[in-house]
């Protein structure tokens, strides 16, 4: 990051993701870390907290709660920055997770990886990635939670692997 700060060229961006993002995803998919979201009760409470945060700040299109991380596709209200939605979702869900475990302290990593959706194809690639992530990680059906906006679910069910149009 220090050697190649944003904005990066397409080539630099691709290399960055190959070297770092892909490796981090393999580590997470292998089940490293605390895996606090492995508990269905805790996962449900954290999911509900994130849904409430998205309701007040934008639109939730898709979310998958894995045992040790979350993938979220959401759009923000035009008057709120993404940091507001993320801070609100992390704060609400962290409080619920801590209550559920009768603990205190940090739950989520300080940073997060965000991506600006460029066009319809990119939106649907992200929605498909979120849907397929648990299977790619080898997770059993009840060890994760996948929620999709009804329009996203309908189009992905109809056109799994194809190029579905982006909702309004």
Residue-range domain boundaries for the chain? 36-158
CA distance 136 to 122: 19
Residue-wise pLDDT tens digits, 136-168: 989 998 999 999 999 999 999 987 655 555 443
Please check the confidence at residue 98 and state whether its pLDDT lies above 80: yes
Cβ-contact 131, 64 below 8 angstroms: yes
According to DSSP H, which parts of the chain are helical?
A: 10-16, 22-29, 40-57, 82-101, 120-136, 150-158
Q: Please state the rounded mean pLDDT for residues 69-83.
A: 92
Closest CA to 60 of 39, 37, 86, 36: 86
Span 21-55, pLDDT tens digits:
665 566 566 565 678 899 999 999 999 999 999 99
Tokens (6 digits) for 60 = 């939730």
Domain 36-158, second-level architecture: 2-Layer Sandwich (3.30)
Q: Would you give the distance in Å from CA 127 to the centre of its chain?
A: 10
Give the per-residue pLDDT at 33: 60
85, 50 contact by CB (below 8 A)? no
């Amino acid at each position: 990051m220090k050697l190649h700060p944003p904005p990066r060229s397409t080539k630099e961006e691709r290399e960055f993701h190959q070297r770092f993002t892909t490796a981090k995803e393999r580590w997470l998919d292998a089940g490293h870390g605390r895996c606090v979201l492995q508990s269905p009760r805790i996962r449900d409470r954290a999911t509900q907290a994130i849904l409430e945060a998205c309701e007040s700040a934008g639109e939730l299109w898709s979310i998958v709660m894995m045992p040790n991380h979350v993938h979220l596709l959401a759009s923000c209200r035009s008057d709120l920055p993404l940091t507001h939605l993320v801070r609100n979702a992390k704060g609400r869900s962290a409080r619920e997770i801590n209550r559920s475990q009768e603990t205190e302290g940090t739950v989520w990593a300080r940073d997060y990886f965000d991506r600006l959706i460029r066009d319809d194809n990119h939106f649907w690639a992200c929605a498909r990635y979120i849907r397929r992530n648990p299977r790619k990680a080898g997770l059993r059906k009840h060890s994760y939670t996948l929620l999709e906006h009804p329009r996203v679910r309908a189009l992905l069910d109809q056109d799994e692997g194809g190029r579905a149009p982006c909702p309004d």
